Amino acid sequence: MLDPRAAERLREKIRDAGLPIEVLAGVDGLERAATLPRAQIVMAAIVGAAGLLPTLAAVRAGKRVLLANKEPLVMAGRLFLEEARRSGAELLPIDSEHNAIFQCMPCGFRAGEHRPEVRRIFLTCSGGPFRSTPPESLAAVTPEQACAHPNWVMGRKISVDSATLMNKGLELIEACRLFGVAPDQIEIVIHPQSVIHSLVEYADGSVLAQLGNPDMRIPIAHALAWPERIESGAKSLNLVDLARLDFEAPDRKRFPCLRLAHEAAVASGTAPAVLNAANETAVQAFLDRRLGFTDIPRVIEHVLAHAAHHADDALETVLADDAQARRVAEAFIAAAGPRIWRGAV
């Protein structure tokens, strides 16, 4: 449980009932649960930076780690891959896009491995709820509108990230680290049907794609059973009913978070951790109605320009830069006050 006080109340009730159940709490409890000897597979699905330490603990314990949250690799990808090599842990992505890329990779591929025969990776996205909204209307977007994704049912934070396309920017950084490619080898493509989940292009010109209905049971089942296949319960894809597949380039003026994420990926070090911290802070302020939708990227750009970046060779450095970025973001939001709602800052 997240709240230690609530966990203690539950422990008392369990003791009174005479049940042999142990209740864990807080980050320490998550780390312990992620490293239990009898747990062979750990699914990391905690939203945001809060998932970093428990996921790292599972990697250090040599588990098969199913990565649903992208932030641990975005924030500390170099450390994660080094720990996985040291412990023998398996990192298997279950984000639909990264799982699709993994399925299209050469046989025997392992996380972080550079394969020279891979020319490009295509990350697909639906374009979110504002793909065709006039840009001048975006400043008035409400949290309720931003959380209404056209194809996927998700939590509020990741729904906002999908609306700004920061989710795709974070996925770009994660893909660089998972698949050993440079940022310029990744192309983001809007695909409204959300049927092709991503593609890999090889040096000989071949392009492999993974298709399926937008159903998270598919990548989860794949990673649980890998390298075998099991029934997921997902509905079969009907190509005749689908009839067409559309693709378009994202409008980077409409979605400036894509540019910011690419810049952080190129800068490397703790720049992606700073980007993520600024985004988490700005999105929460938007959900709390303290910030306008189009001001989310303004906050992120300010933090990237004013918060320090360092080499990401120590966990303590990553956590320190993450904390500093959140302070810079909160100070900027507080100083701007109501003016920031209309982009006056």
Q: How far apart are CA 251 and CA 182, in angstroms?
A: 22
Total of domains in the chain = 2
Q: What is the mean pLDDT of residues 8-29?
A: 94
pLDDT, tens digit (0-9, with 9 covering 90-100), for 101-115: 999 998 888 889 999
Domain boundary among 221, 253, 285: 253
pTM: 0.90
DSSP 111: T
Q: Are residues 139 and 93 in the same domain?
A: yes
Q: What is the CATH number of the domain that holds 332?
A: 1.10.1740.10
Residue 107's contacts (CB-CB under 8 Å, 6 or more residues apart) are: none
Do 122 and 206 share a domain, yes or no?
Answer: yes
Q: Answer yes or no: do 304 and 343 share one domain.
A: yes
Q: Are 203 and 188 in contact (CB under 8 A)?
A: no
On whether residue 85 sits in a domain, the answer given is: yes
Name the nearest CA neighbour of 221 among 206, 231, 209.
Answer: 231
- Pair (143, 243) in one structural domain: yes
Strand order across the beta sheet in which 64-67 lies: 41-44, 64-67, 90-93
> 41 has which bridge partners?
64
Beta-carbon contacts of 90 under 8 Å, excluding residues fewer than 6 positions away, are: 63, 64, 65, 84, 110, 111
Q: What are the tens digits of pLDDT across the range 136-174?
A: 889 899 999 998 866 666 688 889 999 999 999 999 999
The model's confidence at residue 236, banded by pLDDT at 50, 70 and 90, is very high
DSSP three-state, residue 344: coil
* Residue found under tokens 């008392």: 12
Distance CA 10, CA 22 (A): 10
Q: In which domain, by residue range, is 161 found?
A: 4-253
- pLDDT score at 342: 46
Q: Tens digits of per-residue pLDDT, 266-301?
A: 999 999 999 999 999 999 999 999 999 999 999 999
